A and B are shown apart, each in its own frame.
Chain A
Amino acid sequence: MEPRLRIENLSKRFVLHEQAKTIPSCEDVNLSVYTGKLTALVGPTGAGKSSVLKCVYRSYLPTAGRMLYRNDLGTVTDLAQASDHEVLTLRRNDIGFVTQFLHCLPRKSALDVTCEPLIARGTSAHEAHEEGKRLLRCLKVPERLWGVPPATFSGGEKQRINLARGLIARPRLLLLDEPTASLDPGTTDNVISLLQDIKQDGVALLAIFHHPELVSRLADNVFELTPPLTTPNLQETTLS
Protein backbone atom coordinates (compact mmCIF):
# COMPACT_ATOMS: atom_id res chain seq x y z
CA MET A 1 0.00 0.00 0.00
CA GLU A 2 1.16 3.54 -0.79
CA PRO A 3 1.94 5.54 2.35
CA ARG A 4 -0.17 8.52 3.34
CA LEU A 5 3.07 10.37 4.00
CA ARG A 6 6.56 9.56 2.85
CA ILE A 7 9.42 11.60 4.27
CA GLU A 8 12.61 11.41 2.21
CA ASN A 9 15.99 12.75 3.30
CA LEU A 10 14.46 15.42 5.48
CA SER A 11 16.91 17.77 7.17
CA LYS A 12 16.30 20.88 9.18
CA ARG A 13 18.95 23.36 10.27
CA PHE A 14 18.28 26.64 12.00
CA VAL A 15 20.43 29.47 10.76
CA LEU A 16 20.65 32.00 13.58
CA HIS A 17 22.00 35.18 12.04
CA GLU A 18 22.54 37.15 15.24
CA GLN A 19 24.71 34.45 16.85
CA ALA A 20 26.21 33.58 13.46
CA LYS A 21 25.58 29.88 13.91
CA THR A 22 23.70 26.95 12.46
CA ILE A 23 21.84 24.51 14.70
CA PRO A 24 21.06 21.12 13.14
CA SER A 25 17.78 19.75 14.43
CA CYS A 26 17.18 16.68 12.31
CA GLU A 27 19.35 15.10 9.65
CA ASP A 28 18.44 12.83 6.75
CA VAL A 29 15.17 11.45 8.12
CA ASN A 30 13.40 8.80 6.01
CA LEU A 31 10.10 7.32 7.12
CA SER A 32 6.58 6.49 6.03
CA VAL A 33 3.19 6.81 7.67
CA TYR A 34 0.32 4.58 6.56
CA THR A 35 -3.45 4.82 6.60
CA GLY A 36 -4.84 3.26 9.77
CA LYS A 37 -1.38 2.87 11.26
CA LEU A 38 0.65 4.74 13.83
CA THR A 39 4.31 5.53 13.33
CA ALA A 40 6.05 6.52 16.57
CA LEU A 41 9.07 8.82 16.64
CA VAL A 42 11.39 7.98 19.49
CA GLY A 43 14.76 9.25 20.62
CA PRO A 44 16.44 11.23 23.38
CA THR A 45 15.64 14.87 24.09
CA GLY A 46 16.98 17.11 21.36
CA ALA A 47 16.92 14.31 18.78
CA GLY A 48 14.64 16.40 16.55
CA LYS A 49 11.33 14.58 17.08
CA SER A 50 9.22 17.71 17.42
CA SER A 51 11.12 19.32 14.57
CA VAL A 52 10.07 16.54 12.18
CA LEU A 53 6.41 17.07 13.05
CA LYS A 54 6.73 20.84 12.71
CA CYS A 55 8.36 20.45 9.29
CA VAL A 56 5.47 18.25 8.14
CA TYR A 57 2.97 20.85 9.38
CA ARG A 58 5.23 23.53 7.85
CA SER A 59 5.60 25.51 11.06
CA TYR A 60 9.26 24.95 10.22
CA LEU A 61 10.62 25.33 6.70
CA PRO A 62 12.62 22.19 5.90
CA THR A 63 16.20 22.78 4.77
CA ALA A 64 16.37 19.72 2.51
CA GLY A 65 14.34 16.69 1.52
CA ARG A 66 10.82 15.86 0.44
CA MET A 67 7.63 15.23 2.41
CA LEU A 68 5.19 13.57 0.04
CA TYR A 69 1.59 13.72 1.22
CA ARG A 70 -0.93 11.60 -0.65
CA ASN A 71 -4.61 12.58 -0.41
CA ASP A 72 -7.65 10.30 -0.78
CA LEU A 73 -7.70 10.88 -4.55
CA GLY A 74 -4.10 9.75 -4.83
CA THR A 75 -2.78 13.25 -5.57
CA VAL A 76 0.70 13.70 -4.11
CA THR A 77 1.87 17.05 -2.73
CA ASP A 78 5.43 17.72 -1.60
CA LEU A 79 4.82 19.62 1.63
CA ALA A 80 8.35 20.99 1.45
CA GLN A 81 7.50 22.81 -1.79
CA ALA A 82 3.77 23.53 -1.41
CA SER A 83 2.63 27.16 -1.41
CA ASP A 84 1.41 28.72 1.83
CA HIS A 85 -2.16 28.66 0.52
CA GLU A 86 -1.88 24.97 -0.37
CA VAL A 87 -0.62 24.23 3.13
CA LEU A 88 -3.49 26.19 4.69
CA THR A 89 -6.00 24.18 2.66
CA LEU A 90 -4.36 20.89 3.69
CA ARG A 91 -4.40 22.00 7.33
CA ARG A 92 -8.10 22.71 7.10
CA ASN A 93 -9.07 19.50 5.34
CA ASP A 94 -6.39 16.85 5.71
CA ILE A 95 -3.67 17.37 8.27
CA GLY A 96 -4.19 17.88 12.01
CA PHE A 97 -1.63 18.67 14.69
CA VAL A 98 -2.04 18.21 18.43
CA THR A 99 0.79 20.23 19.94
CA GLN A 100 1.89 20.18 23.55
CA PHE A 101 0.24 23.48 24.30
CA LEU A 102 -3.18 24.89 23.59
CA HIS A 103 -3.37 28.34 22.00
CA CYS A 104 -6.82 29.84 21.94
CA LEU A 105 -8.89 32.94 22.35
CA PRO A 106 -9.46 34.15 25.89
CA ARG A 107 -13.26 34.40 25.59
CA LYS A 108 -14.10 31.14 23.79
CA SER A 109 -15.66 28.27 25.71
CA ALA A 110 -13.94 24.88 25.80
CA LEU A 111 -16.72 23.41 23.67
CA ASP A 112 -16.37 26.14 21.02
CA VAL A 113 -12.58 25.76 20.99
CA THR A 114 -13.08 22.03 20.44
CA CYS A 115 -15.59 22.50 17.63
CA GLU A 116 -13.73 25.21 15.70
CA PRO A 117 -11.93 22.96 13.18
CA LEU A 118 -15.18 21.24 12.25
CA ILE A 119 -17.06 24.53 11.84
CA ALA A 120 -14.20 25.95 9.76
CA ARG A 121 -14.86 23.09 7.36
CA GLY A 122 -18.50 24.01 7.01
CA THR A 123 -20.21 21.60 9.42
CA SER A 124 -23.30 23.11 11.09
CA ALA A 125 -22.83 24.46 14.61
CA HIS A 126 -25.38 22.02 15.98
CA GLU A 127 -23.74 18.95 14.48
CA ALA A 128 -20.29 20.17 15.54
CA HIS A 129 -21.47 20.70 19.11
CA GLU A 130 -22.91 17.18 19.32
CA GLU A 131 -19.63 15.70 18.17
CA GLY A 132 -17.66 18.01 20.47
CA LYS A 133 -19.69 16.91 23.49
CA ARG A 134 -19.20 13.26 22.59
CA LEU A 135 -15.44 13.71 22.49
CA LEU A 136 -15.25 15.76 25.70
CA ARG A 137 -17.32 13.11 27.47
CA CYS A 138 -15.07 10.41 26.08
CA LEU A 139 -12.00 12.26 27.36
CA LYS A 140 -13.62 12.74 30.76
CA VAL A 141 -13.68 16.52 30.67
CA PRO A 142 -16.21 17.41 33.40
CA GLU A 143 -19.39 18.88 31.95
CA ARG A 144 -19.19 21.98 34.17
CA LEU A 145 -16.07 23.03 32.21
CA TRP A 146 -17.58 22.84 28.73
CA GLY A 147 -18.92 26.39 28.80
CA VAL A 148 -15.78 27.90 30.37
CA PRO A 149 -12.78 29.32 28.48
CA PRO A 150 -9.83 26.90 28.87
CA ALA A 151 -7.41 29.68 29.93
CA THR A 152 -7.80 28.77 33.60
CA PHE A 153 -7.82 24.97 33.12
CA SER A 154 -5.20 22.64 34.60
CA GLY A 155 -2.47 21.29 32.32
CA GLY A 156 -4.25 17.96 31.92
CA GLU A 157 -7.62 19.57 31.21
CA LYS A 158 -6.09 21.85 28.57
CA GLN A 159 -4.37 18.89 26.99
CA ARG A 160 -7.64 17.00 26.68
CA ILE A 161 -9.31 20.02 25.02
CA ASN A 162 -6.36 20.17 22.67
CA LEU A 163 -6.76 16.50 21.81
CA ALA A 164 -10.50 16.78 21.29
CA ARG A 165 -9.87 19.73 18.98
CA GLY A 166 -7.28 17.76 17.04
CA LEU A 167 -9.49 14.69 16.68
CA ILE A 168 -12.84 16.31 15.95
CA ALA A 169 -12.33 17.04 12.25
CA ARG A 170 -11.03 13.51 11.56
CA PRO A 171 -7.93 14.60 9.65
CA ARG A 172 -6.45 12.05 7.22
CA LEU A 173 -3.03 12.55 8.79
CA LEU A 174 -2.72 13.39 12.46
CA LEU A 175 0.49 14.61 14.08
CA LEU A 176 0.71 14.15 17.84
CA ASP A 177 3.40 15.67 20.06
CA GLU A 178 3.28 14.05 23.52
CA PRO A 179 -0.50 14.21 23.80
CA THR A 180 -0.59 12.37 27.13
CA ALA A 181 2.30 14.04 28.94
CA SER A 182 0.20 15.57 31.73
CA LEU A 183 -2.65 13.05 32.00
CA ASP A 184 -3.39 10.61 34.82
CA PRO A 185 -3.41 6.85 34.08
CA GLY A 186 -7.22 6.61 33.86
CA THR A 187 -7.48 9.36 31.27
CA THR A 188 -4.48 8.00 29.44
CA ASP A 189 -6.37 4.72 28.92
CA ASN A 190 -9.26 6.67 27.39
CA VAL A 191 -6.88 8.49 25.08
CA ILE A 192 -5.42 5.17 23.99
CA SER A 193 -8.81 3.76 23.13
CA LEU A 194 -9.72 6.95 21.26
CA LEU A 195 -6.51 6.72 19.25
CA GLN A 196 -7.24 3.06 18.53
CA ASP A 197 -10.68 4.11 17.26
CA ILE A 198 -9.31 6.69 14.90
CA LYS A 199 -6.75 4.24 13.58
CA GLN A 200 -9.69 1.96 12.82
CA ASP A 201 -11.24 4.87 10.95
CA GLY A 202 -8.22 4.93 8.66
CA VAL A 203 -6.42 7.98 10.03
CA ALA A 204 -2.65 7.88 9.56
CA LEU A 205 -0.77 8.90 12.71
CA LEU A 206 2.74 10.21 13.30
CA ALA A 207 3.27 10.52 17.03
CA ILE A 208 5.71 11.28 19.80
CA PHE A 209 4.90 9.72 23.19
CA HIS A 210 6.37 10.44 26.56
CA HIS A 211 5.98 6.88 27.83
CA PRO A 212 7.54 3.82 26.16
CA GLU A 213 4.47 1.89 27.26
CA LEU A 214 2.29 3.95 24.94
CA VAL A 215 4.63 3.27 22.06
CA SER A 216 4.35 -0.46 22.63
CA ARG A 217 0.57 -0.31 22.98
CA LEU A 218 -0.14 1.91 19.96
CA ALA A 219 2.70 1.95 17.46
CA ASP A 220 2.75 -0.14 14.29
CA ASN A 221 6.13 1.25 13.27
CA VAL A 222 8.81 2.81 15.42
CA PHE A 223 11.33 5.20 14.02
CA GLU A 224 14.33 6.09 16.14
CA LEU A 225 15.99 9.49 15.79
CA THR A 226 19.46 10.29 17.05
CA PRO A 227 20.56 13.85 17.76
CA PRO A 228 22.29 15.17 14.64
CA LEU A 229 26.05 15.35 14.97
CA THR A 230 27.38 18.84 15.02
CA THR A 231 30.03 18.06 12.45
CA PRO A 232 32.32 20.90 11.38
CA ASN A 233 30.59 21.37 8.05
CA LEU A 234 27.26 21.83 9.79
CA GLN A 235 28.71 24.37 12.16
CA GLU A 236 29.88 26.57 9.35
CA THR A 237 28.72 30.07 10.04
CA THR A 238 26.22 31.32 7.55
CA LEU A 239 25.98 35.07 7.32
CA SER A 240 23.81 36.74 4.79
Chain B
Amino acid sequence: MKKILEVRGLTKIYGSGCPRCISATGPAHDTNVCPHCGTVVAAHDVAFDLHEGEILGIMGESGSGKSTVVKTLFFDDKPSSGSARFHDGEQVQELFDLNPAEQRWLRNHKFGMVYQNPNLGLNFNVSAGGNIAERLLMNDLRHYGDIRDRARQLLARTEVLSNRMDESPKRFSGGMQQRVQIAKALATRPPLLFLDEVTTGLDLSVQARILDLILEIQQELNTAMIVVTHDLGVIRLLAGRTLVMKYGRVIEAGLTDQILEDPQHAYTQRLVASAL
Protein backbone atom coordinates (compact mmCIF):
# COMPACT_ATOMS: atom_id res chain seq x y z
CA MET B 1 0.00 0.00 0.00
CA LYS B 2 1.32 3.41 -0.96
CA LYS B 3 1.28 6.45 1.27
CA ILE B 4 -0.96 9.28 0.18
CA LEU B 5 -0.52 11.67 3.10
CA GLU B 6 2.11 12.16 5.81
CA VAL B 7 1.22 14.61 8.53
CA ARG B 8 3.83 15.67 11.09
CA GLY B 9 3.78 18.13 13.97
CA LEU B 10 0.52 19.71 12.87
CA THR B 11 -0.32 22.55 15.27
CA LYS B 12 -3.02 25.20 15.27
CA ILE B 13 -3.37 27.89 17.90
CA TYR B 14 -5.93 30.67 18.08
CA GLY B 15 -4.46 33.67 19.87
CA SER B 16 -1.20 35.53 20.29
CA GLY B 17 0.55 32.64 22.02
CA CYS B 18 3.21 32.70 24.73
CA PRO B 19 6.16 30.42 25.56
CA ARG B 20 4.07 28.45 28.06
CA CYS B 21 1.00 27.72 25.86
CA ILE B 22 2.05 24.16 25.02
CA SER B 23 3.33 23.08 28.42
CA ALA B 24 0.23 24.47 30.17
CA THR B 25 -2.43 22.82 27.98
CA GLY B 26 -3.44 19.31 26.94
CA PRO B 27 -5.04 16.27 28.61
CA ALA B 28 -2.81 16.48 31.70
CA HIS B 29 -4.09 20.03 32.33
CA ASP B 30 -7.70 19.34 31.37
CA THR B 31 -7.83 22.34 29.06
CA ASN B 32 -6.85 23.59 25.64
CA VAL B 33 -6.84 27.23 26.76
CA CYS B 34 -3.50 28.61 27.94
CA PRO B 35 -4.00 29.94 31.50
CA HIS B 36 -1.22 32.50 30.98
CA CYS B 37 -2.34 34.20 27.79
CA GLY B 38 -5.78 32.82 26.90
CA THR B 39 -4.64 31.32 23.60
CA VAL B 40 -6.58 28.24 22.40
CA VAL B 41 -4.32 25.32 21.48
CA ALA B 42 -6.80 23.69 19.11
CA ALA B 43 -4.34 21.02 17.89
CA HIS B 44 -0.74 20.32 18.78
CA ASP B 45 1.83 18.00 17.25
CA VAL B 46 -0.66 15.82 15.38
CA ALA B 47 1.09 13.17 13.29
CA PHE B 48 -0.13 10.27 11.17
CA ASP B 49 0.29 8.50 7.85
CA LEU B 50 -2.58 7.72 5.52
CA HIS B 51 -2.33 5.08 2.80
CA GLU B 52 -4.16 4.94 -0.53
CA GLY B 53 -7.73 3.71 -0.14
CA GLU B 54 -7.51 3.62 3.64
CA ILE B 55 -10.10 5.06 6.04
CA LEU B 56 -8.66 6.75 9.13
CA GLY B 57 -11.03 7.70 11.94
CA ILE B 58 -10.49 10.66 14.25
CA MET B 59 -12.57 10.55 17.40
CA GLY B 60 -12.77 12.58 20.58
CA GLU B 61 -15.09 14.82 22.52
CA SER B 62 -16.36 18.19 21.38
CA GLY B 63 -13.58 20.76 21.14
CA SER B 64 -10.77 18.17 21.06
CA GLY B 65 -9.47 19.46 17.71
CA LYS B 66 -10.86 16.93 15.23
CA SER B 67 -12.30 19.46 12.78
CA THR B 68 -9.20 21.62 13.14
CA VAL B 69 -7.10 18.79 11.71
CA VAL B 70 -9.22 18.31 8.59
CA LYS B 71 -9.84 22.03 8.13
CA THR B 72 -6.12 22.76 7.94
CA LEU B 73 -5.57 19.86 5.52
CA PHE B 74 -8.41 21.06 3.27
CA PHE B 75 -7.03 24.65 3.44
CA ASP B 76 -10.13 26.01 5.19
CA ASP B 77 -7.75 27.21 7.88
CA LYS B 78 -4.01 27.90 8.07
CA PRO B 79 -1.98 25.79 10.52
CA SER B 80 0.37 27.51 12.98
CA SER B 81 3.10 24.97 12.22
CA GLY B 82 3.68 21.47 10.95
CA SER B 83 3.94 19.70 7.65
CA ALA B 84 1.66 17.61 5.44
CA ARG B 85 3.14 15.83 2.44
CA PHE B 86 0.62 14.77 -0.19
CA HIS B 87 1.70 12.03 -2.60
CA ASP B 88 0.11 12.44 -6.02
CA GLY B 89 1.48 9.69 -8.23
CA GLU B 90 5.23 10.26 -8.31
CA GLN B 91 4.88 13.87 -7.19
CA VAL B 92 5.12 14.83 -3.53
CA GLN B 93 3.74 18.19 -2.43
CA GLU B 94 4.23 20.01 0.85
CA LEU B 95 0.67 21.25 1.31
CA PHE B 96 1.41 24.17 3.60
CA ASP B 97 4.12 25.58 1.30
CA LEU B 98 1.83 25.89 -1.70
CA ASN B 99 0.52 29.27 -2.83
CA PRO B 100 -3.24 29.93 -2.66
CA ALA B 101 -3.80 29.17 -6.34
CA GLU B 102 -2.05 25.80 -6.03
CA GLN B 103 -4.02 25.04 -2.88
CA ARG B 104 -7.31 25.86 -4.65
CA TRP B 105 -6.34 23.60 -7.51
CA LEU B 106 -5.73 20.66 -5.15
CA ARG B 107 -9.00 21.35 -3.33
CA ASN B 108 -10.92 21.32 -6.58
CA HIS B 109 -9.19 18.37 -8.21
CA LYS B 110 -7.62 16.04 -5.67
CA PHE B 111 -9.50 16.57 -2.40
CA GLY B 112 -13.12 16.44 -1.42
CA MET B 113 -14.86 17.54 1.75
CA VAL B 114 -18.22 16.65 3.23
CA TYR B 115 -19.22 18.91 6.11
CA GLN B 116 -21.65 18.21 8.93
CA ASN B 117 -23.42 21.43 8.01
CA PRO B 118 -24.59 21.24 4.36
CA ASN B 119 -24.56 25.07 4.28
CA LEU B 120 -20.78 24.92 4.16
CA GLY B 121 -20.54 22.36 1.39
CA LEU B 122 -23.45 23.33 -0.85
CA ASN B 123 -24.57 26.43 -2.68
CA PHE B 124 -28.30 26.73 -1.95
CA ASN B 125 -28.76 29.36 -4.67
CA VAL B 126 -28.33 26.77 -7.39
CA SER B 127 -29.90 23.37 -8.04
CA ALA B 128 -28.49 20.05 -6.84
CA GLY B 129 -27.25 19.41 -10.38
CA GLY B 130 -25.82 22.93 -10.51
CA ASN B 131 -23.79 22.29 -7.38
CA ILE B 132 -22.08 19.40 -9.08
CA ALA B 133 -21.74 21.32 -12.34
CA GLU B 134 -19.84 24.03 -10.48
CA ARG B 135 -17.24 21.54 -9.39
CA LEU B 136 -17.05 19.91 -12.82
CA LEU B 137 -16.56 23.31 -14.48
CA MET B 138 -13.57 23.89 -12.24
CA ASN B 139 -12.25 20.66 -13.66
CA ASP B 140 -12.32 21.80 -17.24
CA LEU B 141 -15.40 19.89 -18.27
CA ARG B 142 -17.08 22.46 -20.51
CA HIS B 143 -19.76 20.84 -22.63
CA TYR B 144 -23.23 21.41 -21.15
CA GLY B 145 -24.58 17.99 -22.10
CA ASP B 146 -21.52 16.19 -20.68
CA ILE B 147 -21.76 18.09 -17.42
CA ARG B 148 -25.45 17.32 -17.06
CA ASP B 149 -24.93 13.62 -17.78
CA ARG B 150 -22.12 13.37 -15.29
CA ALA B 151 -24.11 15.24 -12.63
CA ARG B 152 -27.06 12.91 -13.19
CA GLN B 153 -24.80 9.84 -12.91
CA LEU B 154 -23.27 11.11 -9.69
CA LEU B 155 -26.64 11.86 -8.12
CA ALA B 156 -27.93 8.47 -9.18
CA ARG B 157 -24.85 6.86 -7.63
CA THR B 158 -25.53 8.58 -4.31
CA GLU B 159 -29.22 7.67 -4.58
CA VAL B 160 -30.65 11.14 -5.08
CA LEU B 161 -33.76 10.93 -7.25
CA SER B 162 -32.81 12.34 -10.65
CA ASN B 163 -36.16 14.11 -11.07
CA ARG B 164 -35.04 16.37 -8.23
CA MET B 165 -31.73 17.39 -9.75
CA ASP B 166 -33.09 20.75 -10.88
CA GLU B 167 -34.34 21.70 -7.42
CA SER B 168 -32.30 23.64 -4.90
CA PRO B 169 -30.97 21.27 -2.20
CA LYS B 170 -32.22 23.83 0.34
CA ARG B 171 -35.54 22.03 0.61
CA PHE B 172 -34.03 18.52 0.68
CA SER B 173 -34.02 16.37 3.83
CA GLY B 174 -30.79 16.28 5.85
CA GLY B 175 -29.90 12.84 4.51
CA MET B 176 -30.47 13.95 0.90
CA GLN B 177 -28.35 17.06 1.41
CA GLN B 178 -25.50 14.85 2.61
CA ARG B 179 -25.91 12.69 -0.50
CA VAL B 180 -25.65 15.76 -2.73
CA GLN B 181 -22.54 16.85 -0.82
CA ILE B 182 -21.01 13.41 -1.32
CA ALA B 183 -21.90 13.46 -5.04
CA LYS B 184 -20.30 16.90 -5.34
CA ALA B 185 -17.16 15.84 -3.48
CA LEU B 186 -16.83 12.77 -5.70
CA ALA B 187 -17.34 14.66 -8.96
CA THR B 188 -13.59 14.76 -9.64
CA ARG B 189 -12.94 11.25 -8.33
CA PRO B 190 -10.54 12.66 -5.74
CA PRO B 191 -8.06 10.22 -4.18
CA LEU B 192 -8.57 11.89 -0.77
CA LEU B 193 -11.84 12.71 0.95
CA PHE B 194 -12.47 14.42 4.29
CA LEU B 195 -15.72 13.68 6.09
CA ASP B 196 -16.54 15.76 9.17
CA GLU B 197 -19.44 14.36 11.24
CA VAL B 198 -21.41 13.59 8.08
CA THR B 199 -24.10 11.53 9.79
CA THR B 200 -24.47 13.50 13.01
CA GLY B 201 -28.06 14.58 13.59
CA LEU B 202 -29.59 12.25 11.00
CA ASP B 203 -32.09 9.48 11.74
CA LEU B 204 -30.47 6.13 12.48
CA SER B 205 -31.82 4.44 9.36
CA VAL B 206 -30.66 7.36 7.20
CA GLN B 207 -27.26 7.25 8.91
CA ALA B 208 -26.89 3.55 8.16
CA ARG B 209 -27.55 4.06 4.46
CA ILE B 210 -25.10 6.96 4.19
CA LEU B 211 -22.41 4.90 5.94
CA ASP B 212 -23.07 2.02 3.53
CA LEU B 213 -22.71 4.43 0.63
CA ILE B 214 -19.39 5.75 1.96
CA LEU B 215 -18.02 2.22 2.25
CA GLU B 216 -19.23 1.26 -1.21
CA ILE B 217 -17.50 4.31 -2.66
CA GLN B 218 -14.31 3.54 -0.83
CA GLN B 219 -14.35 0.03 -2.30
CA GLU B 220 -15.29 1.13 -5.82
CA LEU B 221 -12.95 4.09 -6.19
CA ASN B 222 -10.28 3.20 -3.63
CA THR B 223 -10.66 6.66 -2.09
CA ALA B 224 -8.58 7.39 1.02
CA MET B 225 -10.68 9.06 3.70
CA ILE B 226 -10.33 10.83 7.00
CA VAL B 227 -13.54 10.42 8.94
CA VAL B 228 -14.10 12.74 11.89
CA THR B 229 -16.76 11.70 14.37
CA HIS B 230 -17.57 11.42 18.04
CA ASP B 231 -19.69 8.34 17.29
CA LEU B 232 -17.93 5.05 18.09
CA GLY B 233 -20.41 3.18 15.90
CA VAL B 234 -19.30 5.16 12.85
CA ILE B 235 -15.66 4.52 13.69
CA ARG B 236 -16.28 0.78 14.12
CA LEU B 237 -18.07 0.52 10.80
CA LEU B 238 -15.80 2.66 8.64
CA ALA B 239 -12.29 3.09 9.98
CA GLY B 240 -9.42 0.59 9.81
CA ARG B 241 -7.28 2.76 12.06
CA THR B 242 -8.27 5.42 14.56
CA LEU B 243 -6.76 8.43 16.31
CA VAL B 244 -8.22 9.50 19.65
CA MET B 245 -7.91 13.21 20.44
CA LYS B 246 -8.33 15.15 23.66
CA TYR B 247 -7.64 18.85 24.28
CA GLY B 248 -5.83 19.20 20.98
CA ARG B 249 -3.54 16.18 21.39
CA VAL B 250 -3.59 12.69 19.91
CA ILE B 251 -3.65 10.56 23.05
CA GLU B 252 -3.93 7.17 21.38
CA ALA B 253 -3.68 5.71 17.88
CA GLY B 254 -4.15 2.15 16.67
CA LEU B 255 -6.14 -0.40 14.72
CA THR B 256 -9.80 0.39 15.28
CA ASP B 257 -10.69 -3.02 16.74
CA GLN B 258 -7.75 -2.67 19.14
CA ILE B 259 -8.79 0.85 20.20
CA LEU B 260 -12.30 -0.44 20.92
CA GLU B 261 -11.44 -3.81 22.51
CA ASP B 262 -8.17 -3.00 24.24
CA PRO B 263 -7.97 0.77 24.75
CA GLN B 264 -4.76 1.82 26.50
CA HIS B 265 -5.44 5.34 27.68
CA ALA B 266 -7.68 6.00 30.71
CA TYR B 267 -9.74 8.47 28.68
CA THR B 268 -10.32 6.02 25.81
CA GLN B 269 -11.24 3.29 28.29
CA ARG B 270 -13.90 5.58 29.77
CA LEU B 271 -15.15 6.58 26.32
CA VAL B 272 -15.48 2.96 25.15
CA ALA B 273 -17.03 1.78 28.42
CA SER B 274 -19.67 4.51 28.33
CA ALA B 275 -20.64 3.59 24.77
CA LEU B 276 -21.35 -0.07 25.60
Residues of A within 8 A of B (CB): 14-18, 54, 58-61, 84-85, 87-89, 103, 105-108, 119-120, 240
- Measured between beta carbons, the chain B residues less than 8 angstroms from A18 are 266, 269-270, 273
A107 with B240: CB separation less than 8 A:
no
**CB atoms of B212 and A84 under 8 A apart:** no
Which residue of A15, A58, A105, A120 contacts B212 across the interface (Cβ within 8 Å)?
A105
Contact status B237-A59, CB under 8 Å: no
Closest residue on chain A to residue B49 by CB atoms: A85
- Check B261–A54 contact: CB distance below 8 A: yes
Q: Is the pair B240, A60 in contact by a Cβ cutoff of 8 Å?
A: no
Contacts of A119 in B (CB 8 A): 219
Contact of B254 with A by CB under 8 A: yes
Q: Tell me if B1 counts as interface (CB < 8 A to partner A).
A: yes
CA distance A186 to B36 in the complex (A): 72
Q: Are B237 and A105 in contact (CB under 8 A)?
A: yes
What chain A residues lie within 8 Å of B255 (beta carbons)? 58-59, 84, 87-88
Chain A CB within 8 A of B257 CB: yes
What 6 pairs between A and B have smallest CB-CB spacing? A17-B266, A60-B262, A59-B257, A107-B212, A59-B261, A84-B255
A106 touches B257 (CB 8 A): no
The answer to whether B208 touches A106, judged by C-beta atoms less than 8 angstroms apart, is yes
Contact, CB under 8 Å: B269 / A84: no
Write the nearest CB–CB distance from B175 to chain A, whole angstroms: 14
- Chain B residues, Cβ within 8 Å of A105: 211-212, 215, 237
Q: Considering the chains assembled together, what is the distance between the CA atoms of A16 and B240 in angstroms?
A: 24
Q: Is the CB of B212 within 8 A of A59?
A: no
Bound CA–CA A14/B272 (angstroms): 14
Alpha-carbon separation in the docked complex, A89 to B264 (Å): 23
List of A residues within 8 angstroms of B269 by Cβ: 16-18
Query: For residue B261, which residues in chain A have a CB less than 8 angstroms away from its CB?
Result: 54, 59-60
Q: A18-B270, A18-B273 are in contact. Are A84 and B262 (CB under 8 A)?
A: no
Q: Mark B204-230, 1 if CB is under 8 A from A, else 0.
A: 000011011001000100000000000
Give CA–CA (A120, B1) in the complex, Å.
Answer: 13
Q: Are A85 and B51 in contact (CB under 8 A)?
A: yes
Contact: A84 with B254, CB < 8 Å? yes
B258 at the A/B interface (Cβ < 8 Å)?
yes
A59 CA to B256 CA, complexed, in Å: 8
Asked if B109 lies at the interface with its beta carbon under 8 angstroms from chain A, I say: no
CB–CB B241/A84 < 8 A = yes
Contact: A59 with B215, CB < 8 Å?
no
Which residues of A are found within 8 Å of B264, using beta-carbon distances? 15, 61
Complex CA gap A18/B265 in Å reads: 10
